Amino acid sequence: MATLGDIGLSAAINLFTAFIFLLAFAVLRLQPFNDRVYFPKWYLKGLRSSPSRSGAFVRRFVNLDFRSYLRFLNWMPAALKMPEPELIDHAGLDSAVYLRIYLIGLKIFVPIALLAWAVLVPVNWTNDALKIRDITKNGTSSDIDKLSISNVPDGSHRLWTHIVMAYVFTFWTCYVLYKEYAKVASMRLQFLASEKRRPDQFTVLVRNVPPDPDESVSENVEHFFLVNHPDHYLTHQVVYNANRLEKLVKKKKKMMNWLTYYNNKLARDDSKRPMMKTGCLGLCGSRVDAIDHYASEIDKLSKDIAEERERVASDPKSIMPAAFVSFKTRWGAAVCAQTQQSRNPTVWLTEWAPEPRDVYWANLAIPYVSLSVRRLIMGVAFFFLTFFFMIPIAFVQSLANIEGIEKKAPFLKGLIELKFIKAFVVGFLPGIALKLFLIFLPTILMMMSKFEGFGSLSSLERRAASRYYLFNFVNVFLGSIITGSALDQLNSFINQSANKIPETIGVAVPLKATFFITYIMVDGWAGIAGEILMLKPLIIYHLKNFFLVKTEKDREEAMDPGSLGFNTGEPRIQLYFLLGLVYAVMTPILLPFIIVFFGFAYLVFRHQIINVYNQDYESGAAFWPDVHFRIIIALITSQVALMGLLTTKNSAQATPVLLALPILTIWFFKFCKGRFESAFVKYPLQEAMMKDTLERAREPHLNLKGYLQNAYIHPIFKESEDEDDESVSEKWETESTLVPTKRQSRRNTPLPSKVSGGSSPSIPEVIEERQ
């Protein structure tokens, strides 16, 4: 176990790194040529313009007002000034609720830390179990060990203090979670009630449309909803498989960027034409004129794009058995989205349509029947990814064990024994090594989620976040605790009986406190400071600005504001909840480090949400039930670990007392789920009717069909250089005119079609009734 000196050195390194990042940010954000990097949100909203190009040449790039540098920390109070209602209007409910997760961390852990340091730390410190063990077994324990439950003798009555504190911490956490769940549910319903008109409020996504030998997918969808939703159906848009067309368009954009780059290069030096090689990565192949090469490639791609567009429009195989169906009212859409459409529950599957920005179009082209197979494959792949990642985790843990390093590499013994080197290896290196190993994990998990076939960006991010959390739980938490310094400990863990697992975890948790402290400082202190510096977007923007930008529009496209990254940010927060709740009773020294993370991260991300991030979608905080569930899992894990630890401390009579805690926690979770979760998965018909009634009163002549009929056209069809937007939209929209059915069974008999499973009267009868 590392000493306080090792932790102090790690803290000094990380605090210094964070200070350097913040100082660099404070200077760079004041420079005019970085304005679009650090304030892109205001540019996108049209509330900020580029710094003046007039005046001295130097002033266009460098801020010469030295008084502004004295106020380099004024971004901190500025980030806290915007009230929450204004923040919701400015950035959306998703961003505002995401920030509340950090506030929950502060609400939970600040009182717990005060109570733990006032009660548990003195109880632990005033014992001498570790001192006796060191004398009898020639062991060495640090001051950090003496602050943990490990310093309490086996069978001591003082262990009841920890049991009482476990109850207090659990009840306080549940109280905060209940109040927050109620608050967020209320915010969501209020947001949906006050929100402006959006296409997804009137639209459902229909999947697994059954094939019909007599009608096309579009005709089949139209007839089904005219029959079964005659008073509310308005229009629909079938889903096209335009994935190849999208790839061609992206390739063309890339080629045009290169053409712009070489044109700019020629404009700066017209003495010679730019040349390039056509081989792999421009390193081999024949040498050609770069401008002529890209111009000819763009011409070829334009022809391919036109041919592919025509093929998609005319080939029935490019039409998927899915459609976006829009209704005249929100009430009609809510009824359709939340009910079963056919006696066969595997066809005509309806769900709320994502908002147009949220649709992940590539996955809508995946046949519905293959989704289960894809998810099974990714489930198996994720299992092996999680299992084999134990190897680098074991390596990271070996870095925290000086004895293990000296055993494997005895020639390093003299170097490692140096005080500074030893403190660096134990107190800093393991945390940064684990951080480096996890760099590519979010990208891998997002690729797996896309392969599984989820149809919206929000569902992709929630799925990737769920996998990331599970990975962190198994590998970063359990793996770091269990693997220790070698894989043989992992092998013994796997081979032992299941009822011994809580025991093993409970004993190992206090021993790994210093490792997690170093990880928190690397990831939660220096890492968060690096987030605000935005070094990667800064470099990319200036490279684009130098090589590709010719117009003001090009400069706007060079901005990369990014988004919250829910798939990476939320699982990271949940890891800190897990560590805080597990160590609150066992080793309270961890809590101040976690509180610093929550406070600092809240400040940084509030600044980023106000000035930088531009969310790709708005889900109305649909992710909140997942956040609540994961905190509950962390709470139960802490209770099970404490029970396992007390079992090894000859405190068997405490186990029945602690058994009530997970039972009460599970009951609390089910209570909250039944009380609040429906607000996040269903839309109340009463709310829908109220909004419809108000809208009809305020806008009696609203052309809702004109508003909805082009909302869910694939964006790739709207991107056309040869046709204006209006003609493209008219070409791809689906008119909702009454088309006589070709299906004989519906013309002559009210019996349902064997294919579609419909059971409504024929279309002519419906037309007569409506007339």
Q: Is the dihedral of CA 298, 303, 306, 309 positive or negative?
A: negative
- Picking from 268, 281, 205, 189, the residue whose alpha carbon sits closest to that of residue 238 is 205
- Picking from 540, 531, 556, 536, the residue whose alpha carbon sits closest to that of residue 606 is 531
Q: What is the mean pLDDT, run by run of 10 residues, along the chain of 771 residues?
A: 70 88 89 88 82 57 72 85 92 94 96 95 81 58 74 83 94 97 94 87 93 89 94 92 89 86 82 82 79 90 89 86 94 94 92 92 87 92 86 64 57 61 61 75 91 92 94 85 50 56 69 83 88 88 79 74 87 94 92 95 94 90 94 94 83 79 96 94 91 91 88 79 45 49 48 42 40 39
At 757 the pLDDT is 41
What letter does residue 195 receive in the DSSP assignment?
Answer: P
Contact 586, 149 (CB under 8 A): yes
List 324's β-bridge partners, or say none: 205, 237
Q: Give 542: exposed, middle or buried? Use CB within 10 Å, 0-12, 13-18, 19+.
A: middle
What letter does residue 197 receive in the DSSP assignment?
Answer: P
How far apart CA 2 and CA 425 sit, in angstroms, is: 10
How far apart CA 263 and CA 265 sit, in angstroms, is: 5
At 262 the pLDDT is 86
**DSSP secondary structure letters along 307-360:** HHHHHHHH-GGGEEEEEEEEESSHHHHHHHHTS--SSSTTSSEEEEPPPGGGB-
CA 450 from chain center: how many Å?
13
Rg (C-alpha) for the chain, rounded Å, is: 31
| Identity of the residue numbered 541 | Y
- Whole-model pTM: value is 0.84
How far apart CA 509 and CA 637 sit, in angstroms, is: 11
Contact 186, 305 (CB under 8 A): no
How far apart CA 402 and CA 416 sit, in angstroms, is: 8
How far apart CA 610 and CA 87 sit, in angstroms, is: 7
723: alpha, beta or left? (left if phi > 0; alpha if psi -120 to 50): beta
At 411 the pLDDT is 59
How far apart CA 319 and CA 323 sit, in angstroms, is: 9
- Tell me how crowded residue 670 is: count the other CB atoms within 10 A of its CB: 11
